[in-house]
Amino acid sequence: MREKERAVRLSKRMSKVLRHAPEEVGPALDAAGWVDLDDLARALGVTRARVLEVVADNDKQRFAVEGGRIRANQGHTVPVALDLPVAEPPAELYHGTVSRFLPDILRDGLRPMARHDVHLSATVETAVRVGSRRGRPVVLAVDAAAMAADGHEFRVSANGVWLTAAVPPNHLREHAS
């Protein structure tokens, strides 16, 4: 296996533990999602240096390391309180999805589904990438300025993903691609 594939594979295992299923390999997350770096490395059967390498090289900066601990920057399905401050969003944000979800999305708005928040991208390019995970991407533009004016809260993760509880359908439109 090429080194890059090995790193991606370890990154996915780290995401699984730090976002979704810590109990499957052992280390418990604290209330804010942090786990001791050595505990995580041991549980995954790799060295601490190897974990740090994956953190540093990660294409999307998915992990944060602080004071000997590590957590996922976003994307959790297990209950954690990331304690991110409310932030003022750019006027427009984007969401990448696929056409089969559109009827539901245009009726109900964007919902967080299994995650804690709806994930929004700052650029169309990133949204295209997010949507492409599921098929031919469709990009929705979110009127974040109007939402903020209506009292919706936005937060931005350490790796630049915009998070909000839900996006009502009236603040969504299909972005020409």
How far apart, in Å, do the first and last CA atoms of the chain sit?
36
Measured from the CB of residue 62, what is the shortest distance to ligand HQG in angstroms? Answer: 5
Applying CB under 6 A, among 110, 139, 142, 144 the residue interacting with ligand HQG is 110
Residue 167 · residue 142 · CB < 8 Å: yes
Site string for ligand HQG, 133-152 (x = CB under 6 A): -x------------------
Contacts of 39 (CB under 8 A, 6+ apart): 26, 27
Binding segment toward ligand HQG, per CB under 6 A, in 2-10, 42-50, 84-92, 102-110: 102-110
- Name the region of 67 (left: φ>0; alpha: ψ -120 to 50; beta: rest): left
For the record, the structure tokens of 105 come out as: 């999305």
Q: Which of residues 28-47 bind ligand HQG (CB under 6 A)?
A: none
Amino acid of residue 144: A
Query: Which residues sit at the interface with ligand HQG, rule CB under 6 A?
Result: 60, 62, 75, 97, 101, 104-105, 108, 110-111, 113-115, 119, 130, 134, 161
